[in-house]
Amino acid sequence: MKYKLLLFITFAIGAFSISILAQNKKTPTTNKVEAVNNTDKIARPKLMVGIVVDQMRWDYLYRFYDLYKTGGFKRLMNKGYSCDNTMVPYLPTVTACGHTCIYTGSVPAIHGITGNNWFDNKIQKSVYCTEDNNDSVKTVGSCTVDAGRMSPQNVLVTTITDELRLASNFQSKVIGLSIKDRGAIIPAGHAANGAYWYDGKTGNFISSTYYIKELPDWMQDFNKRKLTDSLYNLNWNTLLPSSVYNKYCDTDENLYESKLGGRTSFPYNLAQFAGKDFSKISGTPYGNNLLFEAAKAAISAEQLGKGEMTDFICISFSSTDYVGHGFGPNSWELADTYIRLDETLSNLLDYLDKTVGQNQYSLFLTSDHAGAHVPEFLNKHHINGGRMDDGDINKELGALMNTLYGNAKIINTVDEFDIYLNHALIDSMKLDIKNVKESLTKFLIQKENVLNVVDKVNASNATIPAKIKEMVINGYNPARSGDLQIINKTGVIDGGKTGMTHGVWNTYDAHIPLLFYGFGIANGHLNRETYMTDISATVAALLHIQMPSGCVGKVIEEVMKK
């Protein structure tokens, strides 16, 4: 009896074990079916929105904070995540380099965009950052021949927008929009569905045959609206009472400000340009309104955020840069432009809420570089500031080379305080390049506004602060960079007699805003140092895709919801 009972129990245990094993063998198959049926789908936003505000200093977030309403900058700052100590990690701090760094997570030494313009040491000629002289590349949407002979061919690595296209097997849509060609082309990347920029000669948004053979119907319809003339007819006066601008800004009328329509103070008669000069809109806050309307048209017509895959729209507001260059950070014009941009951002966020859906899109807002104070404004308040002009330096150095070696052409050019030497000529003259560099350096460091001169090839050995050294090295690309980098004293800018510019290592040019908002984004502020190179790495983590091929940035983990 006991033997039979034992036999039964043994049999039952065996049968039970076989049943469990059989179930375990079925489990992987069941999981695979669930994965195919998308029951465990990776969560991603429907639309990624990249916003670059050209020449926006970080301190504008807080300096004008009380002037902003609740729906624009304040909404992003208070309901999103702000990285308050984000720095540009290379030289020069200019538009093309900035847009490329944001969207590649890389630096000029790797991505190849060493300036808005550079002297190519291989082909021995000056190159514009997005020019494309391929015979197949033509202007689309305008009779302006050169305005559309553009592409991202000079960018040597992928962008985060390229990586999204690759990750989705090119099902995700990517669109780039800006007043500036480089502000639309570089962010959209090599594999974009489209990039559109403003042609100041015709008042139309145009493109290139690199992307399309003709403008899509929606963009043709948009251009027919002639919004530039409608915006001109609004003219430009201050949005708020003059007492507000007196509190936050320098006086309205200054000789060191540039002129708009013959004036340097409010009000500005823009109606005089209607139907005549379409370029002036770029230097007013209405250029941002024009771009916003174009972005709405693109989102609606391209059905961005409506498909199964995440789409990406890149919007670069350029008018802030034009106004900043003309009038400076302490002008009434600059303050008024940001007050109006705040309303535009509010309207954009409301539009995204209605069309894509609240918490269905992710967004970042940053800048390609910041900007210096107008030197004369600084001097008025007993702060050091001055001006140096690349063109004048070029002539002076050419004259020096002619005196010392009998040939001014030893200097190819000077651009953004970067000195390009003619190596072929130096070799043919059997000169010692070390002696040439030493003679140039000795001459330059005696100038009142020059702090130091760095031999870029040997920058790692330069006796300069580590921060500046790293920025020089990160900006050096042998094929597209100069030989010597002039480091000016603080407050010294490259420019003419009025306005201001940017491009140097100092915090006023290199400290930028960085805000994240929307799907998957935490709420808070971060004061540890982050870098422009971290933006694409963070977006890649948010979208669960590969970082761009030249990315050297790191994910800002605090930005993401846990």
Of 105, 102, 85, the residue nearest 94 (C-alpha)? 102
Residue 507's SS3 state is: helix
Q: How far apart are CA 61 and CA 70, in angstroms?
A: 13
Q: Check whether 35 has a pLDDT greater than 90.
A: no
DSSP letter assigned to residue 546: P
How would you list the strands of the sheet with 139-140, edge to edge? 139-140, 204-208, 194-199, 174-178, 311-317, 47-53, 361-366, 514-518, 81-83, 524-526
For the chain, domains (ranges, CATH) are 47-74+133-381 (3.40.720.10), 386-489 (3.30.1360.150)
User: Token pair for residue 509?
Assistant: 């040019």
Q: Check whether 549 has a pLDDT greater than 50.
A: yes
pLDDT of residue 79: 98
| Single-letter residue type at 372 | A
Tell me the Cα Rg of the chain: 28
Provide the sign of the torsion angle of the four alpha carbons 138, 144, 145, 147, taken in this order. Answer: negative
Share of the chain above pLDDT 70, in %: 93
pLDDT mean over 490-518: 96
Indicate left, alpha or beta for 312 from its phi (over 0: left) and psi (-120 to 50: alpha): beta
Q: How far is CA 323 from the centre of its chain?
A: 17
pLDDT tens by residue, 315-336 = 999 999 999 999 999 999 999 9
Residue 150's SS3 state is: strand
Are 515 and 509 in contact, with CB atoms under 8 Å apart?
Answer: no
pLDDT mean over 501-510: 98
pLDDT of residue 6: 40
pLDDT tens by residue, 253-297 = 999 999 999 999 999 999 999 999 999 999 999 999 999 999 999
Q: How far apart are CA 44 and CA 509, in angstroms?
A: 34
Q: Give helix then strand counts, H and E, for the chain.
A: 20, 21
* pTM of this structure: 0.92
Q: How far apart are CA 99 and CA 195, in angstroms?
A: 14
pLDDT tens by residue, 231-263 = 999 999 999 999 999 999 999 999 999 999 999
pLDDT mean over 519-534: 98
- Burial of 169-195, coded b for 16+ CB within 10 Å and e otherwise, reads eeebbbbbbbbbbbbbbbbbbbbbbbb
pLDDT of residue 41: 87
pLDDT tens by residue, 89-124 = 999 999 999 999 999 999 999 999 999 999 999 999
pLDDT tens by residue, 331-364 = 999 999 999 999 999 999 999 999 999 999 999 9
Which residues, 6 or more positions from 414, have their beta carbon under 8 angstroms from its beta carbon? 390, 391, 393, 394, 397, 420, 482
Q: How far is CA 100 from the centre of its chain?
A: 6
Q: Check whether 15 has a pLDDT greater than 70.
A: no
Of 58, 75, 113, 72, the residue nearest 91 (C-alpha)? 113
Of 154, 139, 258, the residue nearest 198 (C-alpha)? 139
Are 547 and 162 in contact, with CB atoms under 8 Å apart?
Answer: no
pLDDT tens by residue, 433-460 = 999 999 999 999 999 999 999 999 999 9
Of 76, 318, 299, the residue nearest 186 (C-alpha)? 318
Q: Check whether 11 has a pLDDT greater than 90.
A: no
| DSSP codes of every residue in 58-109 | TTHHHHTGGGS-TTTHHHHHHHSEEETTEE--SS---HHHHHHHHHHS--HH
Q: How far is CA 28 from each of CA 18, 42, 242, 269, rounded to the nearest angstrom?
A: 17, 19, 71, 72
Q: Check whether 2 has a pLDDT greater than 90.
A: no
Q: How far is CA 251 from each of CA 245, 353, 422, 479, 481, rounded to the nearest angstrom?
A: 8, 39, 46, 45, 40
> Where does the pLDDT of residue 18 fall: very low under 50, low under 70, confident under 90, or very high at 90 and above?
very low
Are 439 and 411 in contact, with CB atoms under 8 Å apart?
Answer: no
Residue showing tokens 């090839």: 457
pLDDT of residue 39: 54
pLDDT of residue 446: 97
Q: Check whether 28 has a pLDDT greater than 90.
A: no
| DSSP codes of every residue in 241-283 | -HHHHHHHSS-S--TTSPPBTTBSSS-B--GGGTTT-GGGGGG
Indicate left, alpha or beta for 67 from its phi (over 0: left) and psi (-120 to 50: alpha): alpha
pLDDT tens by residue, 148-166 = 999 999 999 999 999 999 9
- Burial of 221-258, coded b for 16+ CB within 10 Å and e otherwise, reads ebbeeebbbebbeebbebeeeeebbeebbbebebebbb
Q: How far apart are CA 406 and CA 403, in angstroms?
A: 6
> Where does the pLDDT of residue 496 fall: very low under 50, low under 70, confident under 90, or very high at 90 and above?
confident
Q: Check whether 30 has a pLDDT greater than 60.
A: no
pLDDT of residue 129: 98
Share of the chain above pLDDT 90, in %: 92
Instruction: Indicate which residues carry an active-site annotation.
Output: 95
Hey, which residues does 347 pair with through a beta bridge?
Answer: none
pLDDT of residue 562: 83
